[in-house]
Structures are given as structure tokens and as C-alpha cells.
Amino acid sequence: METRFAGLILAGGTGERYGGPKAFARLPDGRSFLAACAEALANAGAAPLLATLPPDVPSLTSPNLQGLPLPASGLAMFDSLRLGLERLLADPVWGAVVVLPVDHPLVAPDTVRALVSSDAEAALPLHDGKHGHPVKLSRRLAEAIVARDLAGPTLREVLRSVGTVDVPVDDPGVTANCNTPDALAAVWARFGR
């Protein structure tokens, strides 16, 4: 039986290194980082689909993507994750969630599908021997994070404590961190997606 899964895009940062919120930064093909991430998750079958956003961002108008403005600027990414998971847990139908930071806008839908098909509580993509994003969490782990039964300063710490399964993928987008304009230019020149 196929697992229904939610998608969570972490896009609540101020984007200081980028010069503004990365959610609205543009890829050379014209799409925003947020749109590219949402497209990858939606094309893989994620529903519901939620993005955490900076507090001063107006509501999203996409019918397929809900926005969750964060209550304050400068929250740690783990706090953004927890708030997003809390909102998603109101929907009882999904069994897993795929969490994608907005500065990884080149992830392929096949990667998302591969992660979701893993029976693991937590799964990470592995490309050319390197871990990347997104990460798949079971609903049980999401509930534990929201309840603060699993807390870390970072998701990486939580994943170390619970253990993860590596899912090999042929997708350089999982390690293509576009956290500055120069990083985006270098990634685009290498992969040309």
C-alpha cells in the first residue's frame, strides 16, 4: 500500500547571505526557489503541502501550497520545522513527511518518491557518497518532535539519535545547496537544470 505523505518546505529564514528571503530568489529558468521546491514535492505526490515563511510575507495564493508565516524573525530552523510539523499534524491522513529546505530547489521528484518508498522512520538521500536533502520522517517522528520528546538544536541531532536509512539516488540536486547567489551560479553551471 502506498504511503500518503505531506511536504514541508522550510522557507522562514530572512536570507541574510542571499540578500533577502530565499523563498523568492529566482532560478535562472525564472522559477522562485519556493515554486521549484513545491513543484518537486507536488509532482512526487505530496499532499498536504506547507511552507514556513518569514513573518512579514503576505499569504500565498497557490491552491496547492499553504503558507505558514512564522511568529517572529530569527527563529532557529528547528523551531520552524516544529511549527510546520505541528500545523501538518492537524491533517490525519499522511503517514510520512518530506522536509525540504528552500535553498535546495533542484531536488527531483523521483528522489522524493524514493525516500517515501523507504520503510524507515527517517531516510536521507545519498548521492555520490554524500548525504543531502530532503529528509523523510515518519508521522511518529514528526509527532515526537512536536511534543518535544525528540529535541535537538538541529534536525541533524535528532536524526543521529533515532538513526536514518540512506537512500541512494542519482540526483545531484540533493547536495546542491543554493544558499548564496554565487552558490546558485556554480550549481546551475554544473548541473544546468
What ranges do the domains of the chain cover? 5-191
pLDDT of residue 171: 96
Contact by Cβ (8 Å): 104, 174: yes
Which grid coordinates are listed for 68?
A: 505558514
Q: Which helix (H) or strand (E) holds 182?
A: helix 181-191
- Identify the H or E element spanning 39: helix 33-44
> How far apart (Å, rounded) are the C-alpha atoms in residues 188 and 114?
24
For strands 130-131 and 122-127, give the pairing: antiparallel
List pLDDT tens digits, range 54-68: 888 776 767 789 999
Low-confidence ranges of the chain (pLDDT < 70): 1-2, 59, 61, 192-193
Phi-psi category of residue 111: left, alpha or beta, with phi > 0 → left and psi -120 to 50 → alpha: alpha
Q: What is the pLDDT of residue 42?
A: 96
Which pLDDT score, from 0 to 100, does residue 9 have? 97
Residue 68 phi/psi, 5-degree rounding, is -125, 95
Length of the chain (residues): 193
Q: Measured between alpha carbons, how far is 104 from 135 in angstroms, rounded to an integer?
A: 12
- The architecture CATH gives domain 5-191: Alpha-Beta Complex (3.90)
Cα distances (Å, whole numbers) of residue 142 to 17, 21, 149, 160: 29, 26, 10, 15
Quick one: pLDDT at residue 1? 46
Q: What pLDDT, on a 0 to 100 scale, did the predictor assign at position 192?
A: 63
Q: According to the model, what pLDDT value does residue 157 have? A: 85
Sort strands 135-138 and 122-127 into parallel, antiparallel or unpaired. antiparallel
Which pLDDT score is estimated for 59? 67
Distant-in-sequence, close-in-space partners of 146: CB < 8 Å, separation ≥ 6:
82, 85, 86, 89
